[in-house]
Amino acid sequence: MPPEMNETEQRSAAKAEIRHPLSDNDRQAVAVMRTAVAQLKGTMSDPKARAPFDDVMEHTPGARQVRYEASTLNGVTGIWCTPDGAHPKAAILYLHGGAYMLGSAQAYRHFAGQIAARSNAAVFVAQYRLAPEHPFPAALEDAKAAYRALVESGVDALALVGDSAGGGLALALLSAVTSEPVTPVAAAAMSPWTDLALTGASLEERADEDPLLTKDMLSKTCASYLRGRDPRDPLASPLYGDLAGSPPIQLHVGTSEILLDDSRRYAERASSAGVEVTLHIWEGMTHVFASSVGTLEAAEEALNLLGRFLGAKLGTRPASTESSLR
């Protein structure tokens, strides 16, 4: 997509691809962040990394006027993130990242709370089972169980959201719940891992630009998660699924991450299947950059876009979600 196109022109393009430039402030902030995480690059492929990974996610600031409450849905533990005045008949199921091996509802509560505040909808962060103790399809089974519990609770409008592996899991869940009494009205994913076969060109082309992920690291976590199962199984890699009939989807990805093509190719396939999909590509941004709200201007902008999109589809968006909600 030509960088000189304005947002209106980009929105009318067939692929609904919108590019966001890198601000001077973010350029400096990203440089500092790169230095801070340099020693972690390629190391997040072992359960021993769970504590440091959670520590990183705990740094996401909480949103104002959001309550957090531990709960269980259909045997799946997690945390409700409920903003004041949340719509009573709408909810978001959030599936956290961590390469199917790391991450927790507790560590992600503030990140999910930022989305809850901007969409004016309660968010349930599911603590799905992790590999290697619980390989595929345990994570998907837990996601389905939590989703069905939300449907059974009487929620009228549901959306699926996730990041990284959780973004891929959310997109895989779309096809797994098409026969449910209530199907999702929308889905959103940040830097989703959609192809566990690891065939995207950006895995090599962006290897030096990505400050955290490596192809070798993803290969190790994938092997631990799949345990010999086909990486092209659509329930593990939504890139290979039948996307026809999916609800509107919004994707966010940075140009400085090896999973860039996982979003690009998924958006292309969704568009070809007639799905309403918008891909936001953020120049110079790294993996799941939106979690750095309070530090990056792009994080604030991306979260506001997510909030407007989800709120519009759920019917919950308040009069204004543009101001900072930290």
pLDDT at 313 over 50: yes
pLDDT tens digits for range 30-58: 999 999 888 889 988 999 999 999 999 99
170 part of a folded domain: yes
227 part of a folded domain: yes
326 part of a folded domain: no
pLDDT tens digits for range 242-262: 999 999 999 999 999 999 999
80 part of a folded domain: yes
Task: Determine the pLDDT at residue 318.
Answer: 52
Residues with a catalytic annotation lie at: 164, 257, 287
The parent domain of residue 19 ranges over: 7-314
322 part of a folded domain: no
Number of domains in the chain: 1
Q: Say how many C-beta atoms besides its own lie within 10 A of residue 289's C-beta.
A: 26
pLDDT tens digits for range 292-306: 999 999 999 999 999
Better-scored residue on pLDDT, 1 or 239: 239
139 part of a folded domain: yes
Average model confidence (pLDDT) across the chain: 92
1 part of a folded domain: no
pLDDT at 12 over 50: no
228, burial (CB in 10 Å: exposed 0-12, middle 13-18, buried 19+): exposed
43, burial (CB in 10 Å: exposed 0-12, middle 13-18, buried 19+): middle
Question: pTM of the predicted model, to two decimals?
Answer: 0.93
pLDDT tens digits for range 127-165: 999 999 999 999 999 999 999 999 999 999 999 999 999
321 part of a folded domain: no
Instruction: For residue 13, give the CATH number of its domain.
Output: 3.40.50.1820
pLDDT at 21 over 80: yes
Q: Say how many C-beta atoms besides its own lie within 10 A of residue 215's C-beta.
A: 16
Least confident of 152-156, 225-229, 235-239, 318-322: 318-322
